[in-house]
Amino acid sequence: MTWDQYADAWSALHGGFDPRTASPVVRGWVRLAWRGGSLAGRLGIGPSGVTTLGLALCALVPFVPLPAAAVLVLLAAFADTLDGATAVVTGRVTRFGYVYDSVADRLGELAWLAAFWAAGVPGPLVVAALAISWLHEYLRARATASGMTEIGMVTVGERPTRVSVAISGLVIAAVLTPWSATIVLVAVIAWLTLGVVGFAQLVYAVRRALIR
């Protein structure tokens, strides 16, 4: 499958958002996933296998030192992109794979936040950050089920933002050890704040799309 064919298929699965018109970082990430998915397909690795690998990486995050945790989050995030790319490239996009991937994403974020809790962030704050993330994804899923065909809005609380906050918080906390407790706390507060703002943006977009 060529890059243009993949970009068209990817766009159809993401509310019409064309990765070829995205920022260089997003375009490069999606293009890297296309190459990885092509390689996985040639090696006979299925999308569910990639999803399971990503989930296994996430499960290790709370139990390793902060630098290793950041690396595992990055690898798991790439696996999350790679499983979809593998499904598209190999023509194995299924409803089960979509559901499995979504559940794996939520469990992965639970593991990431568990790492912040293990690093000293208060439990209630961690639970609040997890809740707003899950609520964001639940609202988008229910809106899609109710007939919202377009993406609506790319909010500040989307999964890539959560990935960035998790990796940044873990890396900075590992480097600046004397202030690690404060850094992980700030990271989770940022996760929660962006999640609340993103949820409000998504509510507005869903209301505009479905109130007609």
Kindly state the tokens that stand for 128.
């609040």
pLDDT class for 15, splitting at 50, 70, 90?
Answer: low
Tell me the pLDDT tens digit for each residue of 63-113.
999 989 999 999 998 898 898 889 888 888 888 988 999 999 999 999 999
At 151 the pLDDT is 67
Angle between helices 95-118 and 159-175 (to 10 degrees): 30
Mean pLDDT of 15-40: 83
CA separation (Å) from 16 to 7, 33, 56, 164? 10, 18, 31, 24
Q: Binning pLDDT at 50, 70 and 90, where does residue 114 land?
A: very high
pTM of the full predicted structure?
0.86
Kindly report the average pLDDT of the chain as a whole number.
90
- The per-residue pLDDT for 185 is 97
Residue span of the structural domain in which 161 resides: 3-210
- Helix-helix angle 47-60:66-90, to 10 degrees: 170
Average pLDDT over residues 132-138: 95
Residue 23 has pLDDT above 80, yes or no: no
What's the mean pLDDT in 27-48? 88
Which tokens is 109 given?
A: 């974020």
**pLDDT for 62:** 95
**pLDDT score at 28:** 83
The pLDDT assigned to 11 comes to 83
pLDDT of residue 21: 83
111's tokens: 């593991």
What CATH number is given to the structural domain containing 152? 1.20.120.1760
| Number of domains into which the chain is organized | 1
Q: pLDDT for 140-195, tens place per residue?
A: 989 888 877 776 678 889 888 899 999 999 999 999 999 999 999 999 999 999 99
- φ/ψ of 44, rounded to 5, equals 80, 20
Assign 45 to helix, strand or coil: coil
